[in-house]
Structure formats: structure tokens, C-alpha cells
């Protein structure tokens, strides 16, 4: 047990990669699925052990492990978690077994390769959210792109090649900018990649400007923020269900995590100077994403554009520099991962039955599929922040934090919430209510036990967080305060973080 606790994060990193090796020796397709599911469930159990032993009263990193890797360049294998990263680690560990369950019958070719890619992206994301060495962070940041690309082009829709290439080109552009920023702070920060050391360094105003710009653009593409969002709807609409779940549920959060882990604490002055522009871009994303979602007839594209809108709340909360905003942003990242993953799984289950994502192909599903409609209704109303569901508390805290800065932004952002209610309820009306528009929609089978086992855990989490978000907020509280202290250190010099330095 001591060995497990001393190297818990390393075990979490190793399990998915070892799982890929194990799958290589399994021949029976059913056993490949069972083994992959068992490996991801083991990872989820380890994440619960991590959560159980995490001390939420500490600000710094916990479960830290350091091993010299390339001593010549001061590169280490260094990992650890705080109250922010642990939530994203747990989200990753939760969604991956559900990705395998929702792909159980939908993926019929190259099953071993498909499930191995899920394990590969899981292991890479665990490292991204725990890395304390920038070289290690960049390597695994880059690695997450590879399995997603192959999932899109090998198991995607009819336009999968174009969507996959677009995803790679955007991702590579962001990665190159990130690499430039990392090399810049390595050369100007004492020739080290140690995140904890670099966070304590003081950079000149000019250095902060250029370093922040490189990091910000890399993370903005990954989020994706408007106007860097155009790759997302195509990637979602062409990706298989598990690909969309991983992409929306976890990969988008890498951008928000990057803002909190790198931009705010390392470049506080530049963050302050850029914040007003980022806040208005966030408000634009909330409205723009909601408006485009309202115009969609494709279920997947509707959920994809809703992600653009919801991630606008994340950047809005991060750059108001107060505890309510940042806590709301972290909660929104976690909650968006749950609700959007659930919606993509639900759309995928419909697609398996009809091979159509068009809203006009359905109607009247409350008669043949009452269990599906009940869960789909819950996830849809949670997506626009109905009180009592998880998204409400995240958006509420973001708006409270924003109200201290600019109340006009709050009022405009509320229009985005109204748009979200409009497109989700209108979609529900056309899909679930009324009369079936096609003969196939009249006889669709309801959810099986496996499909219920995929969706019910997400439904429970939606309600539990919506009714009692206390445990998540307590877990991140000390770490959020620490980030704010680092990001607002200019206040000591009489400079507000939201007013550009003269």
C-alpha cells in the first residue's frame, strides 16, 4: 500500500499505457472490450484513491514525484496535483470507461486499435494535468493530438479526412506557439523547465507580453475561443461518439487548465493587460456560440456550438481574477465535461439506431424510448443551467465574479443563457415530443442495460453536483486562492489586474 501511495500518480500514468500492451496480446474481440473496460475502471478506482487521500486545506502540489530524466537539459519526470488539476484528472478517469461502454456495439472494425487509442489519450491527458515539468507537459500535450486524429479519420463520418486535417493543422499551430513560449521562458528563467521554479521568476513587461501571447494563443486554440473555434464543429460532427466525448469532455479543458496553471501565475502583468480584451471575447463567444447552435439541424453540431458558448463562461470566470469567478470557471470545466459528454453519448445512441443526426429524422421519441427521453431531457436542461443541475452553480459563480468587474458583461452573458434554453428546449420539442416524422422513429428500441449503465452515472453526477457542490468547491478552494494571489500580485503596487499598466 505504501508503494501505491508514494507513486500513485505514476501508477495512474502507467495503467493506460500498460493496458495498450496487454490488449496487443488479446485476440478475442469481446475480451478486448472487457479488458479495455477493466483497465479504465482500474484507472477510475485509482482516481478515487487520489481524491480520498487529497488534503484540500493545502495550497501547493501534493503526491509530488520527481525523477531526473535528461540531466543535461534539467528535464525531469515531475508530476503532482493540486485542487484544480485533481478535478480534471478525475474527469478524465470517469469519462474513459464510459467511452468504451458507448462504443461497445458501435465500433465494429479495428476494435483493438480503437480502444488502444482511447487508453493512449487517457494516459497522455493524465500527464498533461499533473506535469510539473514544461518539457514533459509539452510532449504529452502534443501526444494527445495523435489518437484524436486517427479516431476521426479512421472511424469518422463521410468528411472525416478534411475534419481530421483541420483539427491537426489548428492543433499543430497551437503546439508550435506553445513550444516557442516554453523555449523562451527556459532561456530567460534560469535554464530550467521546473514549473514551480519558473512560477517564482520575475519577467520584464516586454517578456511577459510576448510569452503570454504565445501561451494564450496556444490555449485559446485548444479551448477553442472565438475566433479560433472553426475546427471544433467539423471535428465533432465527423468524430465517432467516443472521440466527441473525449474531445468535448476533456481535451477542451486543457486550454482552460493552461490559463490557470501558466498564464495567470507566470505572467500576471500581461494577464492584467490582456484581461479586458479576453473578457469581451468571452462574452462574444457566449452569444455567438448560442446563436449558431440555435440555427443547427444536426444534433452533433448543435452540441458542438453549445460547447463554444459554454467555454466562454470558463474564460470569463478565469480572467476576472476573483475567487467566485475562478471557482465557477473550474466547476464549469468539470460540469461541461459531464453534461456535454452525456449529450454526445445520447446523440451517438440515436445515430446507432437510425444512422442520422438530423433533428427532422426524429420526433415523438417519448413513446418508443421513454427512458432515453427522460435522461436526454435531464442532460439538455442541465446544459443551459437549470437550477438544481450542475451547470447552474458554475455559471452562477462566474456571473457573480463578473458582476464585481463589469455588470454589463453579466447582462450580455445572460442573453447567452436564454439562447441556450431556447436551442435546447426547441431541440427537445422536435426530437422527443409530438408525432414521429418517420416510420423508423416510431419503433426505435429504448435504452439497453449497457446504455443505461453508461448514462445513469452521468445523470447522478449532474444532480449531485447541482444540489450539493460543496465537496468540489472545498477541494479547489485553497488552490484557487493561491492562483489569485499569484495573478493579482500587482495590486501591491497599486495596479488593478483589470486595468492595463500605464
Question: Is the CB of residue 428 less than 8 Å from the CB of residue 376?
Answer: yes
Phi, psi of 362 (to 5 degrees): -120, -145
Measured between alpha carbons, how far is 262 from 214 in angstroms, rounded to an integer?
11
Name the one residue in this structure whose C-alpha cell is 509539452. Answer: 138
Phi, psi of 212 (to 5 degrees): -60, -45
Q: What's the grid cell of residue 254? A: 486543457
Residue 497 has pLDDT above 90, yes or no: no
Q: Is 407 exposed, middle or buried (0-12, 13-18, 19+ CB in 10 A)?
A: exposed
Phi, psi of 56 (to 5 degrees): -75, -10
Peptide bond into 147 cis (omega under 30): no
In this prediction, residues 405-432 reach a mean pLDDT of: 92
- 75-81/62-70 β-pairing: antiparallel
CA angle in degrees (0–180, nearest 5) for 97-98-104: 95
Q: Which of 452, 242, 481, 466 is nearest to 344 (CA)?
A: 242
When pLDDT is cut at 50, 70 and 90, the band that residue 5 belongs to is confident
Question: Is the CB of residue 226 less than 8 Å from the CB of residue 280?
Answer: no
Q: What is the pLDDT of residue 2?
A: 64
In this prediction, residues 223-236 reach a mean pLDDT of: 87
Strand partners, 67: 77
Q: What's the grid cell of residue 234? A: 467539423
Measured between alpha carbons, how far is 362 from 387 in angstroms, rounded to an integer?
28
Q: What's the grid cell of residue 476? A: 479547489
DSSP string, 393-447: HHHHHHHHHHHTT-HHHHHHHHHHHHHHHHHHHHHHHHHHSS--SSHHHHT----
Phi, psi of 67 (to 5 degrees): -140, 130
Is residue 308 helix, strand or coil?
Answer: helix
DSSP string, 252-301: THHHHHHIIIIIHHH-HHHHHHHHHHHHHHHHHHHHHHHHHHHT--BHHH
When pLDDT is cut at 50, 70 and 90, the band that residue 433 belongs to is confident
pTM score > 0.85 for this model?
yes
3-state secondary structure 332-349: HHHHHHHHHHHHHHHHHH
pLDDT digits (tens, 9 = 90+) for 91-140: 999 999 999 999 998 888 899 999 999 999 999 999 999 999 999 999 99
pLDDT digits (tens, 9 = 90+) for 15-42: 999 999 999 999 888 999 999 999 999 9
* Strand locations in 43-165 (E): 62-70, 75-81
Q: What is the pLDDT of residue 485?
A: 86
Q: Where are the domains of the chain?
A: 2-493
**Residue 97 DSSP label:** H
Residue 229 has pLDDT above 90, yes or no: no
Question: Is the CB of residue 88 less than 8 Å from the CB of residue 440?
Answer: no
Dihedral sign for Cα atoms in the order 83, 259, 256, 404: positive
In this prediction, residues 323-339 reach a mean pLDDT of: 94
Q: Which residue has the higher pLDDT, 442 or 46?
A: 46
Measured between alpha carbons, how far is 479 from 261 in angstroms, rounded to an integer?
11
- Expressed in angstroms, the distance from the first to the final Cα of the chain is 56
Residue 492 has pLDDT above 60, yes or no: no
Count other C-beta atoms under 10 Å from residue 377's C-beta: 16
Residue 223 has pLDDT above 90, yes or no: no
3-state secondary structure 183-250: HHHHHHCCCCCEHHHHHCCCCCHHHHHHHHHHHHHHHHHHCCCCCCCCHHHHHHHHCCHHHHHHHHHH
Measured between alpha carbons, how far is 285 from 310 in angstroms, rounded to an integer?
8
pLDDT digits (tens, 9 = 90+) for 463-488: 999 999 999 999 999 999 989 888 77
Amino acid at each position: 500500500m505504501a508503494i501505491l501511495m508514494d507513486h500513485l500518480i505514476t501508477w495512474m500514468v502507467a495503467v493506460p499505457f500498460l493496458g495498450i500492451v496487454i490488449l496487443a496480446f488479446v485476440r478475442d474481440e469481446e475480451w478486448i472490450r472487457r479488458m479495455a473496460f477493466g483497465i479504465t475502471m482500474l484507472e477510475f478506482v485509482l482516481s478515487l484513491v487520489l481524491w480520498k487521500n487529497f488534503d484540500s486545506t493545502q495550497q501547493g502540489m501534493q503526491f509530488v514525484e520527481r525523477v531526473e530524466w535528461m540531466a543535461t537539459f534539467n528535464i525531469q519526470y515531475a508530476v503532482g496535483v493540486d485542487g484544480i488539476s485533481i478535478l480534471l484528472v478525475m474527469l478524465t478517469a470517469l469519462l474513459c470507461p464510459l467511452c468504451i461502454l458507448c462504443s461497445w456495439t458501435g465500433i465494429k472494425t479495428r476494435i483493438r486499435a480503437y480502444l488502444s487509442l482511447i487508453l493512449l489519450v487517457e494516459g497522455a491527458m493524465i500527464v498533461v494535468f499533473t506535469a510539473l515539468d514544461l518539457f514533459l507537459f509539452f510532449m504529452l500535450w502534443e501526444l494527445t493530438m495523435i489518437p484524436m486524429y486517427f479516431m476521426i479519420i479512421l472511424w469518422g463520418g463521410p468528411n472525416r479526412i478534411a475534419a481530421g486535417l483541420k483539427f491537426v493543422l489548428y492543433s499543430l499551430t497551437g503546439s508550435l506557439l506553445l513550444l516557442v513560449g516554453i523555449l523562451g521562458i527556459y532561456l530567460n528563467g534560469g535554464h530550467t523547465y521546473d514549473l514551480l521554479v519558473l512560477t517564482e521568476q520575475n519577467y520584464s513587461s516586454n517578456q511577459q507580453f510576448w510569452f503570454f501571447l504565445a501561451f494564450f494563443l496556444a490555449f485559446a486554440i485548444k479551448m477553442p475561443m472565438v475566433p479560433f473555434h472553426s475546427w471544433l464543429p467539423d471535428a465533432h460532427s465527423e468524430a465517432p461518439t467516443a472521440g466527441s466525448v473525449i474531445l468535448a469532455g476533456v481535451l477542451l479543458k486543457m486550454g482552460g487548465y493552461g490559463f490557470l496553471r501558466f498564464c495567470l501565475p507566470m505572467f500576471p502583468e500581461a494577464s492584467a493587460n490582456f484581461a479586458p480584451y479576453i473578457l469581451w471575447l468571452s462574452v462574444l463567444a457566449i452569444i455567438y456560440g448560442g446563436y449558431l447552435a440555435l440555427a443547427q439541424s444536426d444534433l452533433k453540431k448543435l452540441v458542438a456550438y453549445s460547447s463554444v458558448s459554454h467555454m466562454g463562461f470558463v474564460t470569463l470566470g478565469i480572467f476576472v481574477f476573483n475567487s467566485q469567478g475562478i471557482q465557477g470557471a473550474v466547476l464549469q470545466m468539470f460540469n461541461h465535461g459531464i453534461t456535454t459528454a452525456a449529450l454526445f453519448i445520447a446523440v451517438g445512441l440515436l445515430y446507432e439506431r437510425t444512422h442520422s443526426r438530423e433533428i427532422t429524422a426524429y420526433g415523438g421519441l417519448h413513446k418508443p424510448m421513454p427512458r432515453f427521453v427522460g435522461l436526454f431531457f435531464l442532460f439538455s436542461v442541465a446544459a443551459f443551467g437549470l437550477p438544481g443541475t450542475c451547470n447552474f452553480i458554475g455559471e452562477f459563480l462566474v456571473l457573480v465574479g463578473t458582476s464585481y468587474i463589469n455588470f454589463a458583461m453579466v447582462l450580455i452573458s445572460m442573453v447567452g443563457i436564454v439562447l441556450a434554453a431556447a436551442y435546447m428546449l426547441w431541440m427537445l420539442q422536435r426530437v422527443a415530443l409530438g408525432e414521429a416524422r418517420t416510420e423508423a422513429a416510431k419503433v426505435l428500441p429504448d435504452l439497453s442495460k449497457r446504455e443505461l449503465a453508461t448514462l445513469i452515472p452521468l445523470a447522478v453526477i449532474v444532480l449531485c453536483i447541482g444540489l450539493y457542490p460543496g465537496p468540489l468547491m472545498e477541494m479547489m478552494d485553497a488552490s484557487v486562492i493561491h492562483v489569485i494571489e499569484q495573478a493579482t500580485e500587482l495590486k501591491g503596487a497599486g495596479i488593478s489586474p483589470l486595468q492595463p499598466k500605464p
